[in-house]
Amino acid sequence: MLYAEYWGYDDRETPEDETDDEHLYFIRWYVLKDSLNTNPHRGEIWLFDPELQRIGTWDLAQLPCVGHNN
C-alpha cells in the first residue's frame, strides 16, 4: 500500500447504534507483490480499523488489474 489515510469514524447520526458505524479510509494507490516480489495471482487484502479489528476482506482474483486492463 503506497498511500492510505484514515479519514475518521462515521456513526451515521445514530450514536446509540454501533452496528451501522463505519471507519473511513482513503486508499489512493496500491501495488500488490508476493514474497518473491512478483505480481500475486491469489490471496486476500485485509482492512483493519484502528483497534486492529478486521473490517473488510477482498479476494485478489476478483479485483480488476488497472495496470493490465483486465
Q: How many domains does the chain have?
A: 1
As a whole number, the mean pLDDT across the chain is 78
Predicted local confidence at residue 70, as pLDDT: 63
Domain that holds residue 8: 3-62
Q: Is 10 a domain residue?
A: yes
Q: Which amino acid is at 21?
A: D
Q: Is 67 a domain residue?
A: no
C-alpha cell at 12: 451515521
Q: Is 68 a domain residue?
A: no
| Mean pLDDT value across residues 33-55 | 79
Please give the Cα distance from 49 to 43 (Å, whole number).
20
Predicted local confidence at residue 12, as pLDDT: 81
Predicted local confidence at residue 66, as pLDDT: 67
| Unique residue bearing C-alpha cell 482513503 | 26
